Structure 1
Amino acid sequence: MAAYIVATVRVTDAEKFAAYGKGIAGLSEQFGGESIAKGPVAEWLEGEGPAGERVVVSRYPDADAARAYIASAQYQAAAALRAGAGEVVMRLLVDPA
């Protein structure tokens, strides 16, 4: 079953956050990940969210692959670089089909 990591991101220190981006460049593909969508929220259709919020959606072959990506040493090292550079919330969705 396909699994998706859906991240909401609000960057507060672009330079520091860029180091995180460089640290994970190409990493998700090593776990079968594929970028589905990413970019700033264009419009709030219902409810509210923080100004400048971005959304990133990646698809993985299964939940284990998505978890392995997040648990990898390379990801963890890059995540440490982004400390204090923004707010990130990651969710794991599993397609039941």
Structure 2
Amino acid sequence: MPAYLVTTITVTKPDQFDEYRKLAGPAVAQYGGKFIVRGGARTILEGKFDGNRLVVVEFPSSESAKTFYNSSEYQAAREKRLGACDFNMVLVEGA
């Protein structure tokens, strides 16, 4: 069953955040992930939306998403991201 990492991001330090992106993208691909949404235009239809950027990554399973998240490759990227943005991530199983 596919699983999705859904992330809201408000970038506060663009140059530092770019260092994260350079490392995170290849790590996503290495662990079988595929970007479904990466920024782009959005329209709020109800409620509030926190974040100026939305990213959705599809993985073959929850286990593969967790393997990606806990990998040394992603953790190295994560270290670059800390302090560069407000970041929220949730793992959701697909239908």
TM-score, normalized by the shorter chain, greater than 0.5: yes
- The answer to whether 1:3 aligns with 2:3 is yes
Task: Give the secondary-structure state (helix, strand or coil) at the position aligned to 2:43.
Answer: coil
Q: Any residues of structure 2 matched to 1:67-86 within 5 Å, and which?
A: 67-86=66-85
Identity of aligned residues (%): 37
2:42 is aligned with what amino acid?
A: A
CA RMSD of the aligned region, Å?
Answer: 1.4
**Range moving further from structure 2, 33-42 or 12-21:** 33-42
The 5 Å alignment of 1:14-25 reads: 14-25=14-25
Q: What is the alpha-carbon distance in structure 2 between the residues aligned to residue 84 and residue 3 of structure 1? A: 27
- The superposition leaves residues 11-66 of structure 1 with CA deviations (integer Å, 9 ceiling, x where unpaired) of 0000010010111122111111111111155222111234x611101111100000
Q: In the aligned structure 1, how far is the partner of 2:91 from the partner of 2:49?
A: 20
Which ranges of 4 or more aligned residues in structure 1 deviate by more than 2 Å? 40-43
Question: For residue 14 of structure 2, what is the amino acid of its counterpart?
Answer: A
Q: Which amino acid aligns with 1:37?
A: V
Residue segments in structure 1 that go unaligned for 5+ positions in a row: none
